[in-house]
Amino acid sequence: MNITLQNLGRRFNQEWIFKGIDYTFSSNQSYAILGPNGSGKSTLIKVLAGQLTPSEGKIIFTKESTTVDIESVYKNISIAAPYIELIEEFTLNELFKFHFEFKNYLPNFDSKKIIEILGMEKSANKSLKFFSSGMKQRVKLALACCSESRLLFLDEPTSNLDTSGEQWYLDLVKSTLSSDRLLIIGSNQEKEYTFCDQTFSITSYK
CA angle, 199 then 154 then 132, to 5°: 140
Domain locations along the chain: 2-205
- Looking at residue 180, its pLDDT comes to 86
Give residue-wise pLDDT tens across range 99-131. 999 999 999 999 999 999 999 999 999 999 999
CATH class of 2-205: alpha beta
- Looking at residue 72, its pLDDT comes to 87
- Looking at residue 23, its pLDDT comes to 98
Q: Whole-prediction pTM value?
A: 0.95
Q: HEC states along the chain?
A: CEEEEEEEEEEECCEEEEEEEEEEECCCCEEEEECCCCCCHHHHHHHHCCCCCCCEEEEEEEECCEECCHHHHHHHEEEECCCCCCCCCCEHHHHHHHHCCCCCECCCCCHHHHHHHHCCHHHCCCEHHHCCHHHHHHHHHHHHHCECCCEEEEECCCCCCCHHHHHHHHHHHHHHCCCCCEEEEEECCHHHCCCCCEEEEHHHHC
- Looking at residue 80, its pLDDT comes to 97
Looking at every residue in the chain, the average pLDDT score rounds to 95
